[in-house]
Homo-oligomer: A and B are copies of this chain.
Amino acid sequence: MEKDCNNASVEVMSNKQVIYREKVRGSLKETNLKVKTSLERPKADKDSGTIAVKNLYLACEPYNLHLIKYFTRLGSPVPGYGVARVLESGHPNFKKGDLVWGMTRWEEYSLITAPETCFKIEHTDVPLSYYTGLLGMPGLTAYAGFFEVCSPKKGDNVFISVASGAVGQLVGQFAKLFGCYVVGSTGSKERVDLLKNKFGFDDAFNFKEELDLDAALKRCFPKGIDIYFENFGGKMLDAVLLNMKFHGRITVCGMVSQYNLERHEGIHNLINLVLKRVRMEGFVESDYYHIYPKFLEMVLPQIKEGKIVPVEDIVEGLENSPAALVGVFSGRNVGKQMVVVSRE
């Protein structure tokens, strides 16, 4: 609220936004994005099937770049997952004041045109920011990817790349709780420590310090890998293919090392899919929305008992989000990167 010249209260209807300004070529740069303030806020008309929300927390992750590159027009706000408060509802399932998580945009206020894809937040006895991570898309991704796609068995040797990322750290913790041997790769000494000491991985290595990824994997898995949870792509995938066990599974969640490249690196060792009878399968968490309640039922008690530990890297303010997103690709963050838009 500000005061007008007559000292009456008027609401300034501004809306700070992070806009996709300039086509991404090669790596994402801060200049591809622009923070600007619009003087309009979205409205959700009655029976429009839409909801107008105030964004509170935004996930800041490689998936944002994927969405930018493939699904965002220049001049539009960056899309991504977030936690928001409903301000106006034109949809029968939502009412003013509801908390939701789902696909929104990087701005203070958003109009969500397909709120059916959002989840209402019922459990508020955990930090709301968790719904951008552990209890949101990364959590469901880790759960569905590991339990529904990897076909895990107790005692399996599990390797996870980008292991300290939002999804990787959870896959590792789920796999440990399930009784697997778990090793992760990540990009700094600090993160290696996090994996081993905070997330309970059996082993971890800094891929930037390994001259020979094949040798690193052979050191960690002398008997080979049963499950590879693929977040990285490129040379790591090629090295993993040389180290898979018979009937191993590679679950492809993403290939973050490749998103900044005009053309993805070539993978040369796919013949190992035949030699080792390996199944490699891509998946997207949105195919698993129906198991979200089952997931919450498993994970909420584990959070409360301290068995699952999220680590968040929190940035305050939309204006700092472009740098935070660029930082995700250079490995600046430790744990799940998240942007606070408003603490209400």
Contact = CB atoms under 8 A, between A and B. Distances in A.
A13 B271 CA distance: 41
Interface stretch (A82-90, A262-270, A294-302, A324-332): A262-270
Interface in A246-283: 252-255, 258, 263-283
A138 interface: no
Contact of A268 (B253, B263, B281): B263
A268 B271 contact: no
A4 interface: no
A284 interface: yes
A280 B277 contact: no
B271 A264 contact: yes
A233 interface: yes
- Best-buried of A237, A267, A274, A278 by chain B (most CB within 10 Å): A274
Q: Give the interface size bracket for A toward B.
A: 20 to 34
A252 B277 CA distance: 9
Question: How many identical subunits does the complex contain?
Answer: 2
Given A264-B269, A264-B271, 12 more contacts: A252-B273, A254-B274, A255-B271, A265-B268, A267-B270, A273-B281, A273-B282, A274-B282, A278-B281, A278-B282, A279-B282, A280-B280
A122 interface: no
Nearest to A286: B277
A143 B264 CA distance: 34
Contacts of A344: none
Among A233, A237, A267, A282, residue most surrounded by chain B Cβ atoms (within 10 Å): A282
A287 interface: yes
A161 B280 CA distance: 20
B269 A280 contact: no
Contacts of A279: 279-282
Given A268-B264, A268-B265, A274 B284 contact: yes
A15 to B, nearest CB: 31
B284 A277 contact: yes
Contacts of A254: 274
A275 B63 CA distance: 12
B255 A270 contact: yes
A280 B283 CA distance: 12
A280 B263 CA distance: 21
20 contacts: A233-B271, A252-B274, A255-B274, A258-B271, A263-B268, A264-B271, A266-B268, A267-B267, A272-B282, A274-B282, A275-B282, A277-B281, A277-B282, A278-B281, A279-B280, A279-B281, A279-B282, A280-B280, A280-B281, A281-B281
